[in-house]
Structure 1
Amino acid sequence: MSDFRFYGFASVFIISCASVWAQETSDLEWRTYGGDLASTRYSPADLIDGDNFNDLELAWSLSTDNFGPEPEYNLQSTPLMVGGVLYSTVGSRRAVIAADAQTGELLWVHRFEEGERGAAAPRRLSGRGLAYRDNGAGGEIFYVTPGYQLIGLDAATGQRIANFGNDGVVDLKQNMDQDMDLVTGEVGLHAAPLVAGDTILIGAAHLPGSAPRSMENVKGYVRGFDASTGERKWIFHTIPGADEFGNDTWLNDSWRYTGNTGVWGQMTVDTELGIGYFATEVPTNDYYGGHRHGDNLFSDSLVAVDLETGERLWYYQFIHHDVWDWDLPCAPILVDITVDGREIKAIAQPSKQTWLYVFDRVTGEPVWPIEERAVAASNVPGELLAPTQPFPTKPPAYDRQGVGIDDLIDFTPALRAEAERIAANYRIGPIFTPPTVSEPGGPWGTLMLPSQAGGTNWAGGSLDPETGIIYLYTYTQVVSLGLINDPERSDMNYIRGRASEVSARDAALTIDGIPIIKPPWGRITAIDLNQGEILWQVPHGETPDNIRNHPRLAGVDIPRTGRVGRIGTLNTKTLLIAGEGGMFTTPSGEPGAMLRAYNKLTGAEVGAVYMPAPQSGSPMTYVLDGVQYIVVAVSGSGMSGQLLAYRLPPE
């Protein structure tokens, strides 16, 4: 019997003690998940540019197949690179690896065995990354396990830090101001922790909430921990308690039992101001709020807190009483801009609904007006929606919002007629058109665009701090929001579903595999934050094979459609770089995807290199010994996870 079966047993395998830790660190590193604490995903590296991007070759690849009992097909990690060593979470059990950043050679592997607790976790697999800290005497690595435990490791050896927490472990299910089962308590985290100075910021995530078993759930509080000891420094109640500000936005004592409202995306810190910023999610249930009347602070909000104490400094709620699951999935981004001659320390929050909300990050005041506008009421029994929702006036929405007849495909008259026939079974309307009860005779639900996955999702955006231009990938995929009553599945009055009399085939929002909504289905948008205007937009992702070769589209001239995915962007001195979220048959006849580079100022594509699988984690870059590398996680479409490292050929 393997020792790994015992609960709480951690393992570290030191593969090599190469002199890589002794290397000079004057080259460009990638020390945090977002490239920096401002979450810009920016590097000033310029050795790879538009003139030589097509010359990139694979320097090394690292398969993650053997870092768990079975391969992982959704590797979302963004590695770090510090001092010539690349660190990443990998594999279906979320191992941590250190590898030589020039060769990909493994240096050490750490795995923490959680037994039943890990198997029951709501957020499993490799996660999205980890955090690095320089403690003055050496480097430290921090990550959150699938079972929601914070682990501190010595960056040189992978051994647990003995004086951090309990022998390197902080149980995040404890000291959380609520009771839960330590094995089955439904809370976890895919996101990387964020280390800023002596504080580690930790959020919370849950199972997807479209059909929760109960209106009662774990609350997703945010905490700050001492990076040296692992002791809790503070906690922020994202669902306010009885005597706390915002409690009156939860009517009928619904704050007592409602859960979620956590932070499942990345966070951001301004160390100069000493402020931490985080963006929150929807409360329990994603699509029905009849059990939680009120605006529900601090759900769907950007919150600024004192980094040392957790004291709330300001907040802004983007959706009052969310029933669309348009929660905030990604890190806000810090940027210094000049608007109408006024210098502003700003913060920009991308969103699923494809508005970019921009604030003064010191005061919380919107840079451009955000208007409360009347929206449609709900016809769902027991539901009580907010009468107004916030509408930013600038920048404009960076993808389509709401569904109308003009959004339906018109490749041919026949396809348009079929698309209209399908849409007639649903409720359609502008953004914030609410879900509806699914009825056999119609409507079967509400067509929602953007979908509950965005728009923008967890990969967020990237920003050029020199120009104030932000880059955002989005995808356009319509979904149906129908509600049903099913007491056997939930104690809530309504959960997401479809009337049982309506078949999945009839309810499909495609015609012989063709989406009923016009392309582009994936795009990248550049927004000048000094002007609050869109600079350029381009479709991102090659047209899928089933569209290019579809018999019903024969003879139809279809420009590049873009692809659906969760794509993070990387921006360097001159380039905007992003991989594709789906496979296609390349000109050489191979199935694969492309890592594409765009001119940052114009959006013109300047290069593309082959990847054997779609991008599934956000790319990062570093310069080591005068050579620039681009590393990206790929997986999906039947391909298990790999880390790919590209570089220019040696001279």
Structure 2
Amino acid sequence: QLGNEGRVDLHEGLDKDVHDHYVAATSPGIIYKELFILGSRVSEGGDAAPGHIRAYDVHTGKLVWIFHTIPHPGEVGYDTWEDSTAYKHLGGANAWGGFSLDEKRGILFAPTGSVSFDFYGGKRKGQDLFGNSVLAIDAATGKYRWHFQTIHHDVWDKDLPTPPALITIKKDGKEIDAVAQPTKNGFLFLLERETGKPIYPIEEIEVPHQSELIGEKLWPTQPIPSFPKPFARQTLTENDLNDLVPDSSYQELKQRFAILKHGGMFEPPTFNGTIFFPGLDGGSEWGGPAFDPETNLFYVNVNEMPWVLKMMEVDYSKTRKENYLQAGERLYKINCLPCHGPERKGSGNYPSIVEANKKYSTQTFTELISSGRRMMPAFKNFSKDESTAIASFILDLKSEQQKEFKSVAVKVDSFRMLRYNITGYNKFTTKEGYAGIKPPWGTLNAVNLSTGEIEWKIPFGEIKEFKAKGIITGSENYGGPVVTKSGLLFIAATLDGKLRAFNKWNGKLLWETNLPNPGFATPSVYEVNGKEFLVIPCGGGKLRTKSGDSYVAFALK
């Protein structure tokens, strides 16, 4: 029998008690021989569980091995941490995007996210291994093979969003089995598959490393690959601001831009606000790339949306006596504000909860807090009174708000008590809601791995009001491409809800069709009885598009 009545609790087997932490799986894991190898999604705050990688026996569900992505004493990487006890408290460094597997060599490749909390590293001083790293792990034993860290001490939420592509390239007349890792910053890191050695030079370049946040210790350099060229824009100046909007909107955009910290991609977070560009969603995202050995082209779709992050100091103090309303507001600011914003109107990809009382009762809302849903983590550490207090604040429960709140003294890990948090996830947009940068806002790219040049780049996705004026702006997009030997590149991913086929050699659009809902996913190509098919899930929902639950399949002639 597998596990406990057919189930294995992912809270168990992490070498730490995380029963009150959020642990889930957003990618399907991978099979190697008799092992099922799985990463995880965890909270991105101070309450994050560790993102260790685990392998289970496929028959019994028994844990066979664990790889500590935040190293324990005696393990590779442990001595890079300034605080020798950090591994006991910190979380994150999780492989939420899935894996690649070289089955012949028995090597698992895992792309990891940042160590939590995402935007302040005062409790995690050092390089933060193995956060933001490509990890090569022995698939049979879980033993360390090699690693390459693409960002040191990340304070920009630049997780590696997708598994690397396992490709073979030619250099100096020799074929090299490689790992090709795209990043949110628009870089492509090319590494030797067996050793992790860079195939082309990667330089450590000095970057801004002075922070106004007390206790922060930024890393002074970051790795920059010399080959190939970046596939996304990496700087934002006043000349790059969106001038397709009315002049009054353009002037207001310039005024906001002038007071925000801006420049390169490694400008640190500030209280006044810093523009992150490339943004939190890339560059490259979780849809992943495609590679064609015939053309030696590496295909990747890109987001070009700037984001704005502002830091704030967290006030953990409370009055001697609180009612439910006061306690709920305090708890909201500590736990919920970063995603839903100070006015509960939502931010980035997170929804408004201003009218949550029209959708939830006290019972269903507190159940949601405990269980989590989709992008929302579960707050299993909340007491019943704390959940009810937050409900009284968010749902505006007048009958509950004036009741006395009686808190229960519990021991709290000081590593969870972060001095700073963010005021919300906010895109840098015009008053109309368009990206604050000139188009294209999304692109489809073919990177030539023989020359290092961008072979072709096209705007990807349409905004109907600009298309009506003859302007193809591109759009934010989520989902990846697939390429065929017959010369076609298929991709959905855009908010306009289309599936498109391009000429893989030059990027010319050959065919497109409307899907019932946007296909924020990567298509699959398969064959049955000699006939080739393509299928795409059409879930929609992201970018405020209509949700759906259909799969659409096409026959390829």
Give 1:644 shift: 1.0
Residue 446 (str. 1) matches residue 282 (str. 2): no
Q: Give the match for residue 191 of structure 1.
A: 27
List aligned pairs for 1:458-473, cutoff 5 A.
458-473=286-301
Shift of 1:244: 2.1
Structure 1 468/198 Cα, relative in aligned 2: closer, same or farther at 3 Å? farther
User: Please, what TM-score do these two structures have when normalized by structure 1?
Assistant: 0.66
Bigger proportion of residues as helix: 2
Q: How many residues align?
A: 451
Which amino acid letter does the alignment assign opposite residue 145 of structure 2?
L
Q: Separation in 2 of the partners of 1:580 and 1:359?
A: 28
Deviations 1:285-304 (A, max 9, x none): 11111111111110000010
Equivalent in the alignment of 1:170: 8
The aligned amino acid for 2:439 is: P
**Conserved 8 A contact 1:473-1:568:** yes
Q: Where do residues 239-318 of structure 1 align in structure 2 (5 Å cutoff)? A: 239-252=70-83, 253-318=85-150
Aligned match for 2:261, one of 427, 432, 435: 427
- The counterpart of 1:349, out of the listed 154, 163, 181, is 181
Shift of 1:170: 2.6
Q: Answer yes or no: is 1:519 the counterpart of 2:439.
A: yes
Which of 44, 56, 63 in structure 2 is aligned with 1:225? 56
CA contact (8 A) 1:422 1:509 kept: no
Instruction: Please state whether the residue corresponding to 1:406 is helix, strand or coil.
Output: helix
Q: Give the residue type in structure 1 aligned to 2:189.
A: Y
In structure 2, the partner of 1:113 is: none
Q: CA RMSD in A?
A: 2.1
Which one of the candidate residues 192, 195, 204 is aligned to 1:360? 192
2:373 aligns to what?
A: none
3-state DSSP of counterpart to 1:612: coil
Contact 2:461 2:495 in 1 (8 A): yes
Q: 1:560 to 1:638 in 2, by over 3 A?
A: same
Say which structure, 1 or 2, has more relative contact order (CA 8 Å, 6+ apart): 1
**1:569 maps onto 2:489 in alignment:** no
Give the match for residue 202 of structure 1.
38
The residue type equivalent to 1:339 in the other structure is K
Q: Do residues 494 (structure 1) and 420 (structure 2) align?
A: yes
Q: Is residue 401 of structure 1 aligned with residue 321 of structure 2? A: no
Q: Write the letter of the residue equivalent to 2:64.
A: K
Report percent identity of matched pairs: 35
Unaligned ranges ≥5, structure 2: 316-329, 336-416
Are the aligned partners of 1:295 and 1:320 in contact in 2 as well (CA < 8 Å)? Answer: yes
Which residue does 2:472 correspond to in 1?
Answer: 560
Which of 504, 528, 534 is residue 448 of structure 2 equivalent to?
Answer: 528
Corresponding letter in the other structure for 1:393 = S
Q: In structure 1, give the amino acid aligned to 2:504.
A: K
8 Å CA contact 1:513, 1:546 repeated in 2: no
Preserved contact between residue 233 and residue 308 of structure 1 (Cα < 8 Å): no
Question: Which digits, 9 at most, give the CA deviation of each residue in 1:491-530, with x for residues without a partner?
Answer: 211111179xxxx9xx963133332201111111111223
- Alignment pair present for 1:321 and 2:153: yes
Given candidates 534, 537, 560, the residue that maps to 2:457 is: 537
Q: Which amino acid aligns with 2:299?
A: Y
- Helix, strand or coil: the match of 2:239? helix
Check conservation: 1:456, 1:474, Cα contact below 8 A. Answer: yes
CA contact (8 A) 2:308 2:428 kept: no
Segments of 4+ moved more than 6 angstroms = none
Which residue number in structure 2 is paired with residue 75 of structure 1? Answer: none
Residue 348 of structure 2: aligned partner = none
Over 3 Å counting, the alpha-carbon distance change for 1:412 and 1:484 in structure 2 is closer
Q: How does 1:585-624 map to 2 (within 5 A)?
A: 593-624=497-528
Deviations 1:537-563 (A, max 9, x none): 111112x124446xxxxxxx6531111
Structure 1 residues 487-496 or 360-369, which shifts more?
487-496
Matches within 5 A, 1:62-211: 162=1, 164-181=2-19, 184-207=20-43, 209=44
CA deviation profile, 1:163-190 (whole Å, cap 9, x unmatched): x334433332222211121xx4311111
Q: 2:163 aligns with which of 327, 331, 334?
A: 331
Query: How far apart are the structure 2 equivalents of 1:520 and 1:428?
Result: 20
C-alpha distance in structure 2 between counterparts of 1:221 and 1:492, whole Å:
22
CA distance in 2, matches of 1:334, 1:266: 14
1:238-282, CA deviations, whole angstroms, 9 ceiling, x for partnerless residues?
A: 001123221222223333211111110110111111111101111
CA separation of 1:311 and 1:498: change in aligned 2, threshold 3 A: closer
More strand by share: 1
Please list the CA deviations of residues 9-56 of structure 1 after superposition, one character each: whole Å capped at 9, or x if unmatched: xxxxxxxxxxxxxxxxxxxxxxxxxxxxxxxxxxxxxxxxxxxxxxxx
Aligned residue type for 1:223: R
Q: Does 1:643 align with 2:555?
A: no
Verify the 8 A CA contact 2:480 2:493 in the aligned structure 1.
Answer: no
Q: How far is the alpha carbon of 1:623 from its aligned partner? A: 2.0
Q: Corresponding residue for 2:534?
A: 630
Q: What is the rounded CA distance, in whole Å, between the counterparts of 2:91 and 2:475 in structure 1?
A: 34
Q: Which residue in 1 is equivalent to 2:403? A: none
1:379-390 counterparts in 2 under 5 A? 379-390=212-223
Cα contact 2:305–2:428 (8 A) shared by 1? no
Distance in 1 separating the partners of 2:420 and 2:160: 23
Q: Are residues 463 and 237 of structure 1, via their aligned partners in 2, closer, same or farther at CA, if it must alter by over 3 Å?
A: same
Structure 2 match to 1:116: none
**Cα deviation, residue 193, structure 1:** 1.3
Does the 8 Å contact 1:521/1:564 carry over to 2? yes
Q: How big is the shift at 1:416?
A: 4.5
Q: What is the CA distance between 1:580 and its match in structure 2?
A: 4.2
Separation in structure 1 between the aligned mates of residue 172 and residue 428 of structure 2, nearest angstrom: 48
Check the 8 A contact 2:461/2:477 in 1, yes or no. Answer: no
